[in-house]
Amino acid sequence: MEALTITCNGCGAPLMYHPKEGKLWCERCGNTQGISPFPWNGVSNAFIKAPQYHCAHCGSKMETASHQSAFRCPSCGTYWIDPYLYPEEQRPEGLLPFRVTKNEAEKRIQQWLGQGFFYPSSLKKAARIENLKGVYVPSWWFAMNVYVEYEAEVGYYYTEKDAQGNVKQKVRWEHHYGKLSKEYQDRIVAIKDVVNANYFRELTPSLRWDDLLTFNPLYTLGFEAYVHTRPEEIAFEEAKKAMEKDLEKAVIQQLPGDTYRNVSYTYQITSLKSMLVMVALWVCSYDYRGKKYQVLVNGWNGAIKGEKPIAWWKVLLVVLLILAVIGLLWWWFSRT
């Protein structure tokens, strides 16, 4: 069992996937080669992990993380993939490849660092971007149609006068029953420990099923890639929890009246589609005044999510300005 690489037809150098060309590309001579369907017939139906890899080009030992399926030789730079980590029952069906290059990702991060009032003014210049790398993250995608029945007590405000002539607000409660149908196309759950799952989830609304390609490990040449380690059943339970929070909000939005109480609902998933997908991300950290912060860039469309330090003096300044305006308004109306 050995890892595989693809070499250039022109000069013999190792190839990598090029985001702009959409093909395998040679860094040495610039030659490109199309991506052929991968011959899965020779791959075992059982998960097989090599105890260690040795580069067939230079003989160097290649250390890889657990469940890492695409990597690079640290000595000669050859790109390798291990298709034996993709047995048929664990093989991804879809792939969202890189379209954003490394240089483009770095420029987007620099631009993002300079945006926002409540962050340090020196952040863009002082932050040092470290170890920007392309990673294919395994994730479960779920699409479902949901039928919901709900009930609640809805209240309508009204006023009446008491015996002393004082006006009081009261609530008239009524029982309300309703139904709704909802479609979810973006319940996406990332595999933990590869990237920050919360950041990844916030990038997923911009991803579309129609953009997916059929999975082929050759797209991962030149990047890091990992096989999934989370069963579909567990990922689905996480997706359902996120969906249930949204359903509760949707039910409340449907309620008539001025207020509500004792809301309850039941739902039924009428259709379900699931797919294991490899998603392209640019991942890096940056250092600002001795502290590390992580940033993710969607390799497909360039969307960014990450953390930034807060300039608390700016927050305090805004609070003080608001208090000053309130004080001036109070002073003005008290005089008039």
Do both 38 and 109 map to the same domain? no
One domain, residues 153 and 244: yes
Considering the domain architecture, whether residues 72 and 148 belong to the same structural domain is answered as: no
Query: Which pLDDT value is given to residue 45?
Result: 59
Query: What percent of the chain is modeled with pLDDT above 90?
Result: 48
Q: How far is CA 331 from CA 316, 319, 325, 327, in A?
A: 22, 18, 10, 6
- Regarding whether 158 and 65 lie in a shared domain, the answer is no
Residue 223 resides in a domain: no
Name the most confidently modeled range: 140-144, 171-175, 230-234. 171-175
Residue-level length of the chain: 336
Smallest CA-to-CA distance from 47 within 10, 99, 77, 83 is with 83
Are residues 57 and 194 both part of a single domain? Answer: no
Residues 46 and 81 in one domain: yes
In a domain, 331, yes or no: no
Give the helix ranges, DSSP H, for the chain.
Answer: 102-113, 123-126, 197-203, 232-254, 312-335
What's the rounded mean pLDDT across residues 27-51?
A: 78
Q: How far apart are CA 56 and CA 73, in angstroms?
A: 10
Q: How confident is the model at residue 48 (pLDDT cuts 50, 70, 90)?
A: low
**Residue 137, domain member (yes or no):** yes
Of residues 177, 180, 93, 178, the one with CA closest to residue 145: 180
CA distances from 112 to 137, 282, 304 (A): 22, 14, 8
Which of the four pLDDT bands, split at 50, 70 and 90, describes residue 47?
A: low
Residues 6+ apart with CB under 8 A from 288: 120, 123, 126, 127, 128, 309
In a domain, 102, yes or no: yes
Neighbours of 165 (CB within 10 A): 6
Residue 266, SS3 per DSSP:
strand
Average of pLDDT values for 33-49? 75
Q: Would you say residue 334 lies in a domain?
A: no
Q: Which of 43, 75, 91 is the last residue of a domain?
A: 91
pLDDT tens, 199-233? Answer: 887 887 667 888 899 999 999 999 999 988 788 88
Instruction: Tell the residue number behind the tokens 């567990």, with chain if given.
Output: 234
Domain assignment present for residue 328? The answer is no
pLDDT value of residue 87: 78
Considering the domain boundaries, does residue 335 fall inside one? no
Structure tokens that stand for 175 in this block? 């029982």
pLDDT tens-digit series, residues 57-87: 888 888 888 788 999 998 988 999 988 888 7
294 located within any domain: yes
Q: What is the pLDDT of residue 158?
A: 93
State how many domains the chain has: 2
Are 87 and 51 contained in the same domain?
yes
207 and 78 housed in the same domain: no
pLDDT at 192 over 70: no
Domain span at residue 55 reads: 1-91
Q: Say if residue 131 is in the same domain as residue 257.
A: yes
Tokens linked to 38:
């991968």
Residues 159 and 44 in one domain: no
Taking residues 152-167, report their average pLDDT: 89
Helix/strand/coil for 206: helix
In this structure, are 59 and 101 located in the same domain?
no
Residues 165, 102 share a domain: yes
